[in-house]
Amino acid sequence: MTSRGRGRRPRLYAATGGRSSTARTSVLTMDTLITAAGDDQGLPSEWRAVLDLCRPPRALAVAELAARMGWRLTPMTRLLGVLLERGLIHHRLPLSPAETCNVVLLTRIRECLAKQL
C-alpha cells in the first residue's frame, strides 16, 4: 500500500480488497448527514480523517465530507458505504418529499431563518 498523499483517490480499493458496497452506497446521497460511530482503532489514516471530521455531536453532509477531504463525491460516497457497512458511521437521510411539503415544518424553518440570519 503506497500513499498517494492528498489526492482525489482515497485508498479505498487497497483497504477493501477492491470491493465496495453498491447496495448501501446508493442510500448515501450528497445531502445525507453523517456522524462517526464506534471504535476506529487500527483503521487506515484516511478513514480516521473522515471520521474525525464528523465526531458527535457534529454531523456533516456527504458533500461536505468530500469537500473537506478534497475528494470527488463518488469516491467519498463509496468509502462512506464501506464505513456504514462496518458500523463506523451513522447516517440521517435528507428530509423526504412528504416532510418538505409539511406546512408546520416549513413554517418553523422560515421562522428560524428569520430569527437566526
Partner 1 sequence: MPNNSDDAPAQAAFKIIVAGGFGVGKTTLVGSVSEIRPLTTEERLTTAGIGVDDLDGIEDKTDTTVAMDFGRITLPEAGVVVYLFGTPGQDRFWFVWDALLEGAAGAIVLVDTRHLGRSFPAVDFFENRRLPFVVGVNAFDGHQPYSAEQIRGALRMSDPQTPIIELDARSRTSSRDALIALMDHLIDRARPVHA
CA distance 49 to 97: 33
In whole angstroms, what is the distance from residue 35 CA to residue 56 CA? 6
Cis peptide upstream of residue 57 (ω within 30 degrees of 0): yes
Q: Would you say 47 or 89 has its CB closer to partner 1?
A: 89
| CB nearer to partner 1: pick between 44 and 84 | 84
Cell numbers at 100, concatenated: 418538505
Instruction: Please identify, using beta-carbon distances, which residue of 1 and 114 lies nearer to partner 1.
Output: 114
Quote the least distance from Cβ 105 to partner 1, whole Å. Answer: 7
The residue among 106, 100, 78 whose CA lies nearest residue 8 is 78
Per the document, the length of the chain is 117
Q: Which residues bind partner 1 (CB under 8 A)?
A: 8, 27, 29-35, 37, 57, 59, 61, 63-64, 66-68, 72-74, 84, 89-95, 97, 99-103, 105-114, 116-117
Cβ neighbours, 10 Å, residue 53: 15
In this complex, which beta carbon is closest to partner 1, that of residue 47 or of residue 71? Answer: 71
CB 10, min distance to partner 1, A: 14
- Minimum distance between the CB of residue 19 and partner 1, rounded to whole angstroms? 18
